[in-house]
Amino acid sequence: MVREIIIWPDPVLKKKAAPVKKVDAEVRALVDDMFETMYAADGVGLAAPQIGVLQCVVVLDTTPRQPDSKPVAMINPVILSTEGTTIYSEGCLSIPGEAEEVERAAVVTVGYLDASGKEQTLRAEGLLAIAIQHETDHLQGKMFVDHISALKREMIRKRMKRLKAEREADRQGSAQP
């Protein structure tokens, strides 16, 4: 099921997600919904807080730009190590139509549970490394705009508030008979 993606600034996006205690059918259903939602929005990553679920779950799929990668669900991901730095123009499904350059680690090693509950470790570089850092930031209540200047962040905040108001007006208009 495709879920609604929360638009920043929304207080839920500033909250820390709780670790998943047990990988069960409910968590696997959440993972399925998250993949469906991410694909419907044409994204490469999605964190559970972006759909209003404060659990440490992310889904990623960078295969369109990294053919050697594969879709991955990460439950309770923890970045174990980083190497080097790179600058990448990041966007976010919760901040549609915006992108800014952010400095990140060039290579990351992440530990996580897969959708079967098995422990996994993945070493990633390129877009997948960026996406892992971006999505794990969401689990800590951080957004990519927290890595840019206050002036740019405020300009984006104003555009997102306007977008949210437009969407709300559209909902109200379509709800009337």
Q: Which one of 83, 135, 166, 168 is the catalytic residue?
A: 135
The residue whose two tokens read 């962040």 is 153
**Do 109 and 123 meet the contact criterion of CB atoms below 8 Å apart?**
yes
At 110, which amino acid appears?
A: V
* Active-site residue flag, 4: no
With contact defined as beta carbons under 8 Å apart, do 33 and 54 qualify? no
Catalytic residues, which ones?
135
